Structure 1
Amino acid sequence: MKKTSFIMGTILLASINFIVRSLGFVYRIILSRMIGSQAIGLYQMVFPFLMVLIAIPTSGIPIAVSKLVAKENSLNNRRGIYRLLTLTLGLGGAIALFLTVVTSLNIEFIVTKLLKNEDLYYPVLWSIPAISVITFSSILRGFFYGLKDMKPPASAQIIEQLARILFVLAYLYYEKPTHPVTAATIAIIGVTIGEIFGLFYLVLRFNLKRLLEIKTFIPPTDSKIFNVLKEVLYISVPLTISRLLSVFMQTINSILIPQRLEAAGYSAVAAIETFGKITGMAMPLLFLPFTVTTALVLNIIPNISEEIAVNNMKEVSYKSSLAIKITLLIAIPLTGIYVIFGQQLAELIYHEKEVGRYLSLISYATLFLCMQHTLSGILHGMGKQVITTINYLLGMLVQLYCTYYLVPNPKYGINGFFIGFIMSSFLIFILNLITLSKYVKLNLPFMQSILKPTLCSLITFLVMIILYQTLGGYLSSGLTSIVSLGFGGLFYCGLLVITKTLDLNQFINSLRS
């Protein structure tokens, strides 16, 4: 299988993430118009429940596969690669089967006691097949990431999204279901349909003959099986715990924030509206940079693991420093854009000025969020997933403390949540940076990595502000924002090249290596 260079792999995955998210964004708008708010509400109640279920088999195991496949590949151990793949498919399948059985036997309890809506019986029932399909496709994607063959999983993502969208919209268009439960159920079935198409594509790219010849992968008497299983669990368990903590914190926030806002004097309606504007509108915009950092993390884990396996710490240092530099080049200007142009962005997308105020406040965490994400990926590649989980837990405790004690204080109100969010992001970033510095000597010259990108960003902001004010008298507010942002992005890239913050020749060469 052809390897993809680190930079090219990151660009490919970031582009695919952007396409998939854009398709998903458009799909949600069309879906909401076709099935109505009640059906969307039912769908939104089931989808997070499904995400909690699949977090167990898909949070840690695919990353373990990516990391360990890269390790075995660097040692040219093809037998070890297929042993690992077969074992993890079996492990993931066993967990998915267990979750499937437990969910199937407890649907009544789930819909009446947990979700507290009996209309969700069929949507929950039809979400069950997705557990196994998503598990297997996630593990196969991890396999390709480990081989640094980024094209199959990237293509599979687009196939999944397109298959889901086409199935759901075609069914709704021709059948035109009038009952909200039926419409929500079709939307849930679409998730499984999309994943099936993506999985089928990955299996075809993998080579079905190899998959069927399992006896060549794991001899029945192979004593290494337990060692491999131990390695997989050592990597995957902390990552799964970290993911479940994140889901748990989202659940706690959804319950706690409205309650603590009411304690601060907000009405019940105002508290829910405020929470909705932050989590449903401001934060999705805040996490847009993760299109790039997610690509970096998926790419850096197998790359670092491969170099660690052959004890090439010089290359580990180079790739770690490169990943951090890329993150800084993106995160520094985006932090400023959100802070300065947050209100214009929110008004352009949501027609809500208050959302813009929330975005401008919470976006002070953008740089720390991006950095902690990239740093955690590097540490995962080095096998330090236990410490990253501990760092994450400490940060979440800070956020929980601020939400519980600051939000009900009328002096702070919802700003108490923002304080906690920024502080927790900063703490996790600092802890991850300190941890990484203990193991790797980073090459991050202050002038090139921080000062130049910051100065280029400040000049770009000034140009964007002047352009926005100049065009304001001739174009609509929305068009003015689009033109200013688009020109600002091009101007910033130009400044990076002019100031040699970004070396074009080095960048072009890195695409090939």
Structure 2
Amino acid sequence: MKKSSFLFGTLLLALVNIVVRSLGFIYKIILSRLIGATAIGLYQMVFPFLMVVITIPTAGIPIAVSKLVAEQKSVGNKNGIYKVLMLSLLLGGLTSLVLSIIVSLKIDFIINNLLKNPSLYYPVLWTIPAISLITFSSILRGFFYGMKEMSPAATAQIMEQIFRIVFVLSYLYYKVPSNPLAAATIAIIGISIGEFFGLLYLVLKFNFKKIVTKSYFIKAYSSSSLEILNHLLYVAVPITLSRFVSVVMQSINAILIPQRLQTAGYSSIVAIETFGKISGMAMPLLFLPFTVTTALVINIIPNISEQLAVNNWKDIEHKSSLALRITLLVAIPTTIVYTIFGHHLAELIYGQEDVGKYLSIISYGTLFLCMQHTLSGILHGMGKQVITTINYLLGMIVQLYCTYFLIPNPQYGINGFFIGFILSTFVIFALNLITLIRYIKLDLPFIHSILKPSFASLFMIVAMIFSYRGFYQLFESNGWSTVFSSIIGGCLYILLLFLTKALDFKHILFTIKE
């Protein structure tokens, strides 16, 4: 299997995403038991703030680096590769420095007016080192993605998580903090510790002598440098804007949904509980397929950019179609499982069946959500990030409209949010698809791409239902019954894909060897 092949990179990154998310999930469980609900609450007040801040330097620049490095690599321009990297490090460094200074100077305003908790001074203060560390780490990962060297970036992600977990849990185990605030501060410091070691690994894997010994690669006022910088900004700014809108929308929903639910007649406590169950429990399950689509998006951008630079439209069409077929193979069964089996999954994971009701409703948007994610990655690789941002903004307007006007209506209530969510995901998906087919011809035969996976998914869910009933009579446990029936269903689904040739083993081997 070639390490530069599209499928190898996707499989590797998907596996890493699973490992990192699993470690993070286990870490959160252990951390909550060690430091308690109050400390976790303080930590959760500061962590989203950090995510908003780092959205600016890390949302668009790493993707731009991945795209431009792949373009320069495809035409054999080594000077251009390292010039892109140095300019992006300079741009990211300046952006993170400005943000760090703003946070330092306005820390009192942040804790008193934004977070509305003056005791959070030190936790917010310790987010400052993480801003630059996360920025440089993201840019270097983007460089390795663009070079089609997935292993260093993947290993760095795992190292970040491991060092963060080891530092925080070791400290908390050997020196129990005197109060919840101190415990939350240690958890925040752990973010910087993990990012430092991840960044250190990336630096060690990268030979900076290539740049240091060839200083002519970057001349601040050279026309080529200004051209590359303009290209960096042209790619990065729209993607950053789109991601920033997404983060802002999450914040707006956190404020607006409970308020509009109370207008519809919900009590304050019920409104907050309902929103918490949707955003904190159902949504994380809904985004599980992004383990695969994120790997696809990260991998498809440099692959398409590389082929676009040499006008290889045939390969662009092939890889785009392959990425969308993989997305459908994941999204179709996930949608059906969540819709029919959501109650059992929610009861297994959270012990609350009503979360499963919410999951079953919003899961109707899973297919569109996954497809829009992959489609946006393909369009970003083709340099169409402006139109994808416009498509995303139009979808968000639909969601905001439904949230504001439908939720207060007692006839809809929380269903108003679900309607807006499903409509917005469909709108973004449809607009991205229409945009893509204007430029390339997709090879997505209905029978192989949709009908066969749907057929296999239906058989899978039937097998899961009957095996669940059998195991439940045997064990009288929802947990074990759900686990075993899910394993049986998953194995049957993969087997049926091979039997119906929705997955062609020979074709997969050929693609891997490309």
Unaligned runs of at least 5 residues, structure 1? none
Q: Which amino acid aligns with 1:502?
A: L
Q: Name the counterpart of 1:30.
A: 30
- Determine helix, strand or coil for the equivalent of 2:149: coil
1:386-397 alignment to 2 at 5 Å?
386-397=386-397
Query: Residue deviations 1:112-165, cap 9 Å, x none?
Result: 011100111000001100000100000000000001110000000000000000
Q: Name the counterpart of 1:504.
A: 505
Separation in 2, partners of 1:217, 1:80: 7
Q: Is residue 59–residue 243 contact of structure 1 (8 Å, CA) maintained in 2?
A: yes
Separation in 1, partners of 2:91, 2:349: 43
Q: Which amino acid aligns with 2:89?
A: L
Q: Is residue 375–residue 433 contact of structure 1 (8 Å, CA) maintained in 2?
A: yes
Q: CA deviation at 1:91?
A: 0.5
Q: Name the counterpart of 1:107.
A: 107
Separation in 2, partners of 1:30, 1:166: 12
- Determine helix, strand or coil for the equivalent of 1:282: helix
Separation in 1, partners of 2:139, 2:311: 26
- Is the alpha carbon distance of 1:240 and 1:208 closer, same or farther for their aligned partners in structure 2, counting shifts above 3 Å? same
Q: Name the counterpart of 2:338.
A: 338
Does residue 178 (structure 1) correspond to residue 187 (structure 2)? The answer is no
When structure 1 is superposed on structure 2, of 69-78 and 467-476 the one drifting more is 467-476
Does residue 479 (structure 1) correspond to residue 463 (structure 2)? The answer is no
Q: Which amino acid aligns with 1:421?
A: F
TM-score by length of 1: 0.99
Q: CA deviation at 1:216?
A: 3.7
Does residue 454 (structure 1) correspond to residue 431 (structure 2)? The answer is no
When structure 1 is superposed on structure 2, of 200-209 and 307-316 the one drifting more is 200-209
CA RMSD of aligned residues (A): 0.9
Q: CA deviation at 1:217?
A: 2.1
Q: Is residue 342–residue 360 contact of structure 2 (8 Å, CA) maintained in 1?
A: yes
When structure 1 is superposed on structure 2, of 214-223 and 390-399 the one drifting more is 214-223
Query: Residue deviations 1:382-415, cap 9 Å, x none?
Result: 0000000000000000000111111111111101
Q: Name the counterpart of 1:495.
A: 496
Q: Name the counterpart of 1:306.
A: 306
When structure 1 is superposed on structure 2, of 502-511 and 14-23 the one drifting more is 502-511
Query: Residue deviations 1:322-342, cap 9 Å, x none?
Result: 000000001000000000000
Q: CA deviation at 1:3?
A: 4.9
Separation in 1, partners of 2:440, 2:194: 41
Q: Name the counterpart of 1:254.
A: 254
Q: Is residue 86–residue 214 contact of structure 1 (8 Å, CA) maintained in 2?
A: no
Separation in 1, partners of 2:211, 2:312: 32
Q: Name the counterpart of 2:431.
A: 431
- Determine helix, strand or coil for the equivalent of 1:464: helix
Q: Name the counterpart of 2:242.
A: 242
Q: Which amino acid aligns with 2:504?
A: D
Separation in 1, partners of 2:389, 2:268: 35
Aligned residue pair count: 512
Separation in 1, partners of 2:466, 2:509: 33
Q: Name the counterpart of 2:232.
A: 232
Query: Residue deviations 1:227-267, cap 9 Å, x none?
Result: 01100000000000000100110011000000000001100
- Determine helix, strand or coil for the equivalent of 2:473: coil
Q: Name the counterpart of 2:94.
A: 94
- Determine helix, strand or coil for the equivalent of 1:473: helix
- Determine helix, strand or coil for the equivalent of 2:501: coil
Q: CA deviation at 1:214?
A: 5.8
Q: Which amino acid aligns with 2:481?
A: T
Q: Which amino acid aligns with 1:319?
A: K
Q: Name the counterpart of 2:401.
A: 401
Q: CA deviation at 1:204?
A: 0.7
Q: CA deviation at 1:508?
A: 1.8
Q: Name the counterpart of 1:414.
A: 414
Q: Is residue 219–residue 225 contact of structure 2 (8 Å, CA) maintained in 1?
A: no
Separation in 1, partners of 2:40, 2:207: 39
1:24-423 alignment to 2 at 5 Å?
24-213=24-213, 215-220=215-220, 222-423=222-423
Q: Is residue 399–residue 421 contact of structure 1 (8 Å, CA) maintained in 2?
A: yes
TM-score by length of 2: 0.99
Separation in 2, partners of 1:372, 1:148: 24
Q: Which amino acid aligns with 2:254?
A: S
Separation in 2, partners of 1:221, 1:252: 42
